[in-house]
Chain A
Amino acid sequence: MPEPLSPKRGRPERRAADRSAAERSVAERAADHAALDQLAGTLLPALIAKLGASALGEIEVREGDWRIRLRRPLDGAPPARQTRPVERAADKPARPAVHPLDGLTARTESRGVATSPAVGIYRPRTDLHAGERVRAGDRLGSVDMLGVAQEVVAPADGVVGTSLAESGDAVEYGQELLVIELTPGSVASTNGNRAP
């Protein structure tokens, strides 16, 4: 029987996030929404098309506070993971098929964080240790959801850093599991190698 999830696990940070969200002004939020809408509706599809048509391995765009980086996976899969929101009403207006934040990874300037793909029990790879080099898309472990393993993958090229969850932990969808320290200049250095 898995260890029950601690009631407050992961919640203090969320509460903090709630507060900061509440403190932000309506205007700021509206601006964020406008920016997100633009990202999802205009910028992202254009970038995907551009990356698909080019021989580039990666494209990065900065706009205001946002930074979007699209990278072509090594196996030649489509450059961005697409999910289609389920619309229960058949007569809803057309919406962008790409959720603004889907496929983008939470990251700061120097680190990326691998997150849980499912609600279940975390099983990190036992042969992977802090300090080891990984590439974007590398398997870091899995989350067992009712007996089915869902892969945890590296969000970016980098070096394995701090573990944020232990093997056997109950984790929720999207929970941060493992820090990947981005090596300075890693983006630039891998660019050339990634042309198909």
Chain B
Amino acid sequence: MFRKVLIANRGEIALRILRACRTLGVEAVVAYSEADRESLPVQLADEAICIGPADARRSYLSAPAVISAALLTGCDAIHPGYGFLSEDEGFAEVVAAHDLTFIGPPAGVLERFASKAGTRELLAAHGLPTIPGSVGMLRDEMHALDEAERIGYPVLIKPSAGGGGKGMRMVRTPRELESVLRVCRSEARAAFGDDSLYLEKWLDENRHVEIQVAIDRYGHGVHLGDRDCSVQRRHQKILEEAPTAALDEAGRADLAQRAIRAAVAAGYENVGTLEFLVDRDGAAFFIEINCRIQVEHPVTELLTGVDLVATQMRIAAGEPLGFNQTDVEFRGHAIEFRINAEDPEHDFRPSTGQVERYHAPGGPGVRMDSHLYSGYDVPPYYDSLLGKLIVWGPDRSTAIARGRVALDELVVDGLVTNVAIHRALLTSEAFLDSKMTTNLLDRVGSAAFLSAAARVG
């Protein structure tokens, strides 16, 4: 195991990694930007080092600053968290060149899975069904129109270098495709520094189901079940749960088995997530692999009891996984609510400012992963995630009941949060009947959800 780890991230995930390090008896250094000087991970860390200004390009996204900080503080590994440098194969390579360990897949593995189109081809060759899509990247408008015609409308335009649902557009007609292609290209270039785009067939009524895997350096791997991330707003996940109701028990087991087999065969290493779209008939199509710890990982932790961040660190340190598929048990039902500083009454406008009073809910099966504290100033420079409320119950209805109580107990004064949309979901028929599809919230409209909930309440 490592002696000392540099945490090159912020917010709730920096805190989560700090806790994993302490559990493993590993020292941790929190690398932070000037804007995060007063943040909770910085205050709780044994050691913290300022790596740059608020602008993430000169701090959390600066490979030289992060690596320099790791060397100066005597660390032997870097945990990138999610976002920022977490899936950057160039960064992983430079980290290794400085005799430091990148906690995640090695650079060569990241490179193999860097292109989404390439990954689809690779995993298709290892037996995973993939969603019909364009062959290679879109060269120009003519090529895009031809490919869309072949796949059949509606299609989804996706940036190859993207992640987290950013920069994606669904189009239903050739005219729409023509009008947004240029915008998508410039958005992709601005957000990811790479304007490669590809097309995917859009399934109108689909569910988003993902399979968590953990594979050690020696090719021994297990799956840790599924997560249903169908509750989305404009392709951004806002609530995740497990197990999914999109598949029956046999279907879930089959998908998870096929996913872990394909990931091992394709040479994946460390923890990762294979994302699938599941259509109305229960057919699953592979869409992409996430080579990092994910925001929604606690759902799986509550269901299986496996500490995914510690597992990720052990694998990166070269340890064997140490358990088999038959050792993994799935108990009950878990739901994660992403608590964002966004105003659902005003088109999810982000809000920043001071948290005047913060109270985290508790009780059986309730976990709150958050970096908030009373008096904390939420800086405006980064994403709007304030924390994650995760609830567990022996069955889904108990988990939902605990979720309602916990959401009512949560206090975040001084900021507008999206808690109202979660409350609304927990009263909506579609959610209670496990009928949420990825487009439902956008199709029905968040406002309709909120007012329906107000009537029920």
Contacts and interface: CB of A to CB of B under 8 A. Distances in A.
A159 to B, nearest CB: 28
Contact of A84 (B55, B347, B353, B356): B55
B56 interface: yes
Nearest to B164: A88
B53 A119 contact: no
A112 interface: no
A107 B48 CA distance: 24
A29 B377 CA distance: 10
A80 interface: no
B51 A29 contact: no
A118 B375 CA distance: 29
B300 to A, nearest CB: 25
B55 A83 contact: yes
A173 B37 CA distance: 11
Contacts, number: 102
Contact of B65 (A26, A30, A33, A173): A173
Chain B interface size, as a band, is: 35 or more
Given A4-B73, A146-B68, A173 B52 contact: yes
Interface in B363-385: 375, 377, 380-384
A170 B72 contact: yes
B47 A7 contact: yes
Interface string A111-129: 0000000111100000000
A175 B54 CA distance: 15
Given A83-B55, A86-B57, A93-B350, A118 B356 contact: no
B51 A30 contact: no
B354 A30 contact: yes
A19 B373 CA distance: 14
B38 interface: yes
Contacts of A174: 34, 50
B350 A175 contact: no
A29 B380 CA distance: 17
Given A2-B71, A22-B375, A93-B349, A118 B55 contact: no
Interface string B54-77: 111111010011011101111000
| Interface of A, helix, strand, loop or mixed by DSSP | loop
A96 B72 CA distance: 34
A175 B45 CA distance: 19
Interface in A79-136: 83-93, 95, 99, 102, 118-121
Nearest to B98: A146
A84 B50 CA distance: 19
Contacts of B64: 145-146, 148
A195 interface: no
A63 interface: no
A67 interface: no
B380 A33 contact: no
B49 interface: yes
A126 to B, nearest CB: 22
A7 B46 contact: yes
Interface residues of A, number: 39
Contacts of B71: 2, 146
A90 B187 contact: yes
Interface string A1-43: 0101101000100100010011000100110010000000000
A120 B65 CA distance: 8
Nearest to A1: B71
A92 B380 contact: yes
Contacts of B50: 119, 172-175
B55 A120 contact: no
A145 B375 contact: no
Given A86-B56, A95-B380, A120-B72, A5 B49 contact: yes
Contact of B53 (A18, A95, A173): A173
A118 B65 contact: yes
A145 B65 contact: yes
A86 B55 contact: yes
A164 B33 CA distance: 22
A120 B51 CA distance: 9
A68 B216 CA distance: 56
B383 A119 contact: no
A175 B348 CA distance: 38
Interface in B290-318: none
A102 B53 contact: yes
Contacts of B67: 146
A84 B54 CA distance: 9
Nearest to B64: A146
Nearest to A26: B356
B325 interface: no
Contacts of A4: 72-74
B57 A89 contact: no
Contacts of B49: 5, 119, 172
A86 B379 CA distance: 12
Contact of B38 (A5, A21, A26, A83): A21
Contacts of A173: 34, 50-53, 59, 65
B43 interface: yes
Contacts of B381: 85-87
Contact of A88 (B51, B74, B348, B383): B383
Contact of B52 (A22, A87, A119): A119
28 contacts: A2-B71, A4-B74, A5-B49, A5-B72, A5-B73, A7-B47, A21-B38, A33-B354, A84-B55, A85-B380, A85-B381, A86-B55, A86-B381, A87-B381, A89-B383, A91-B348, A92-B380, A95-B380, A99-B54, A102-B53, A119-B50, A120-B72, A145-B64, A172-B50, A173-B34, A173-B50, A173-B51, A173-B53
